[in-house]
């Protein structure tokens, strides 16, 4: 198929516009269409806030619905709809970039959209741009290695049953717990049971003006926590 545009997945990092890679900034300056994830009409796109300083004034901004639900049928329908919208621009010869917080290939909606776009246009040219992850940026802020030598590192996404963390924390000396807001108290109970509450750091909204971190995890019991939050656990401590 002639004159098909290129599709880019752009990881825009954890939250600060100056943590984008040079390649990410280049794509945002040159793409015809910038697709942004939008979880609901009430929530602004976090990824757009981060990427906006780098986006060309001539680019068209297109919202892609990415609702924060777990119903697979709803999600699949939204991803299919988004992919069809992206495919139409690509077939018109437009270069399209989908932006995503963090890294494009780690727990990202982009990977689902990519799969569906490739089903619609099998020969589409794709480039995925890696981004700085929130946990690597947190380690850099703290000046502490995520892992050294032959140490193991586990990366755990949002978890329904925090008790499942017990064997992970028993096996891995370094653990990243992502999206901890909804199960925070239960996760902290597990850390306390294992004697790890003082060997962990809580971070939220890294790279934003209101970023916050603390080693006193107990101080956050009963406090509203941001969606963009994580816990780093190092059995050696921080």
What's the pLDDT tens digit per position in 156-212? 998 889 999 999 999 999 999 999 999 999 999 999 999 999 999 999 999 888 899
pTM: 0.92
State the Cα–Cα distance between residues 67 and 78, nearest whole angstrom: 8
Final residue belonging to a domain, choices 129, 163, 195: 129
Q: Do residues 172 and 229 share a domain?
A: yes
Nearest to 191 by CA among 235, 130, 236, 139: 235
Asked if the structure places residue 74 within a domain, the reply is: yes
Domains of the chain: total: 2
Sort strands 125-129 and 6-11 into parallel, antiparallel or unpaired. parallel
Nearest to 157 by CA among 108, 90, 199: 108
pLDDT tens track for 48-106: 999 999 999 999 999 999 887 888 899 999 999 999 999 999 999 999 999 999 999 99
Asked if the structure places residue 1 within a domain, the reply is: no
Give every CB contact of residue 76 below 8 A, 6+ residues apart in sequence: none
């Amino acid at each position: 198929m002639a004159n098909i545009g290129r599709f880019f997945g752009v990881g825009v990092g954890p939250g600060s516009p100056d943590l984008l890679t040079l390649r990410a900034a280049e794509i945002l300056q040159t793409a015809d269409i910038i697709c942004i994830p939008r979880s609901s009409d009430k929530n602004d796109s976090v990824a757009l806030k981060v990427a906006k300083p780098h986006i060309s004034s001539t680019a068209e901004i297109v919202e892609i619905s990415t609702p924060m639900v777990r119903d697979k049928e709803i999600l699949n329908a939204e991803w299919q709809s988004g992919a069809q919208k992206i495919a139409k621009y690509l077939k018109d010869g437009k270069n399209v970039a989908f932006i995503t917080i963090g890294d494009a290939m780690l727990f990202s909606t982009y990977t689902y959209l990519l799969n569906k776009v490739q089903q619609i246009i099998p020969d589409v040219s794709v480039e995925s741009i890696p981004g700085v992850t929130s946990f690597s940026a947190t380690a850099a802020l703290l000046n502490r290695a995520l892992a050294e030598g032959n140490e193991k590192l586990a990366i755990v996404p949002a978890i329904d049953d925090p008790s499942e963390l017990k064997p992970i924390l028993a096996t891995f000396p370094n653990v990243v717990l992502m999206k901890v807001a909804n199960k925070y108290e239960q996760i902290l109970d597990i850390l306390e049971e294992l004697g790890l509450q003082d060997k962990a750091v809580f971070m939220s909204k890294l790279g934003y003006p209101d970023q916050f971190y603390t080693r006193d995890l107990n101080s956050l019991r009963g406090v509203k926590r941001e969606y963009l939050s994580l816990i780093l656990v190092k059995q050696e401590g921080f």
